[in-house]
Every structure is written in C-alpha cells, then in structure tokens.
Amino acid sequence: MPGLEPDLAATLSADYAAATLDVDFASTVDSTADRLADTAEVVVTSGRIGFDMRLLEAFPRVGAIISYGAGYDTIDAVDAAARGVVVSNTPDVGECVADAAVGLAIDAMRGLSAADRSIRRGEWTTAIPIRVGRRLSGCRVGIVGLGRIGHAVARRLTAFGCEISYHNRRQLADSPFRYHSSVQSLASSVDLLILTATGGTADGPLVGPEELAALGPRGFLVNVGRGSLVDENSLVKSLHSGSIGGAALDVFATEPDVPAGLLNADNVVLAPHLGSTTEETLTAMSRSVLGNLESFLSGRGLISPVPESLRTREVDRTGTINRGGPSTDPIPDDTRWPRP
C-alpha cells in the first residue's frame, strides 16, 4: 500500500489485514513482498509509486491493481490486461484539479508569484508593475485531454469568456468545442495551452520543441496532467529564451525532482503536485479505493476500471467473475470513509 494517505492505509490494514510494502519496493522487492507473493490477490498503490511488470510477475495471484489517484502511467495497464489483471484509478478528482489549473493559469499569466517574490526582495520601488501581465478572461484556450478534468476546466473558462479548443486521441462527436488533430496545431491557435491528459504516448511527450514553438512568445503552458506529457529540457530552453511567455506546472517527469532550469526561471510557477490535494478530493479518492476493493473482492468487478482493463475478459480463478467489468454498482455513498 505504498504512497497512500495515512488514514486510508490504516483502514486497509485494520479492515482488510493489508500489509504495507516498503515505499522503495518498486525498485527492490522487499521481504514483505516475498512473503505475500503467493497469497496477495489485490494491490493498492498510488499513481506516484505505481506497479510495473516485474512486480506483476513477482505476484502471480494478483487479480487487480487499485490506484489511489487519477493518473496511472506508472502502472503497466496494457501488460496487466494481457495477464488478466484489471486496474482501477480514482478519476473523480476533476473539480479540484480544474480549480488548480485555473489558479495556475492566472498566476502564470499575471505573474502573481513572481510579483510576490519581487516584493519580498524589496524591489517594489514604483507604482508601475515590474511585469505587465496578460488577461485570462476572453483568451483562446487549448485543452489537451478533454476528459473529466478537461471538461471541468472548460466549464470554468467558458465562464471567463474564453474560446475553447481541444485535442484528444479521437474527436468527441457531441463536443461544442473546436477539435484539433494534433497538439502542434492546437498550440499554434491558442494563447493558453492546458494539459489535463493522464499520460503521454509510447512515442514520447506530447509537448516538445515543435509544440512549444507553435505556442510562441505570447503563449502560456499549464500542466496539471502528468509530467511525462512535456519534454522538460525543451521547456527549460523555451522559458529561458523567451520563446514562450511562461508556464505553470503542478507535475514533473521524475517527481519529486525538479530540473534546476525550472527552479531558476522566474517565468514559471511551480507546485508540488497538489492539484487534487483538498480535503474533499482526498476523501472522495479514499472512498473510491475502498469501493473498488470491496466490489472486486465480492465478485462484482471494479467500479472504475481504466480503459485498458475494459478489454480484459478473462474469467476469474473461481470461474465466475468477468474481471473486465466494470461493475454496474456506483461507488457507494455509504462506504464508511472517513472512519468515525
């Protein structure tokens, strides 16, 4: 149960006799893992820690991986599906992540954090702002990943009078927003590019030198999706050269490590992956984990399987469960979380 909120880990331990693996188990399978290898049927992990193919092979009886968080690019979901192992995440984090995305966008475009640092350094010597910002309201916004979080961002920015466009793997038939078939095309047509997708592609980051060049010196980038979506070396060069206007990042490629070139750039806002870190969202995520766990163990399948797992149709070891699910049951409101 690495990387979980402490109260959730305690509940799993108390109610399900769950064992806790060393937080570094992703690189070294510890003695606890050796002891559980032939008995563990479900793994609860987090998007930060993940669960790779090597660990899947070390736990041959595992039938489900339940991830605490929306992102799951640290879990080999495709390989897991090939082995008949289903994966779930906690996708209902959209509202708070969307709030964070809008806040980060305003900060980056108006230079609020940079202004705060300037005042603390004693540099406010005139009534003229040190940096003239850009207005968010009415600007052109491109969203990469128009899923739950992307739609929540779009709702908020529509209220700001923004013109919304998007890029997805596939065009959404019922979307009122303009679709672009590539990130580069989208970036070239907007003032603000917001990344809300939950992972990159096998071909590498979605935002690299070409996309940043398309965004241009008056364009801004916000990433609340996954760090793997952005080529960080190219971003550093773009920020320092002024070839993009600025950025705001809540996620990084190798968290918690942040490139030095980002730390010493004054035109980027940095946050420690806190987009979903509110009391309300953490409670909902914990409830989702417990709901998925209870549903799977009772033979109904996962409540919120990731898309790769929807293609899994292996019959459970008992011969009765179609692991691919999903369960038709919603995450129950009466799941006892938080504990009294």
Catalytic sites, residue numbers: 226, 255, 273
Q: Considering only CA atoms, which of 31, 30, 32, 71 is closest in space to residue 49?
A: 71
**Edge-to-edge, what's the strand order for the sheet holding 220-223?**
178-179, 163-167, 140-144, 192-195, 220-223, 246-249, 268-270
For 35, list phi and psi in degrees, rounded to 5.
Answer: -70, -35
Question: Percentage helix, strand, coil, to 5, in the chain?
Answer: 35, 15, 50
Dihedral over Cα of 173, 72, 298, 281: its sign: negative
The sheet that has 86-88: what strands, in order across it?
42-46, 64-68, 86-88
Provide the greatest CA pair distance for the chain: 75
Q: Cα–Cα distance between 310 and 269 in angstroms, integer?
A: 37
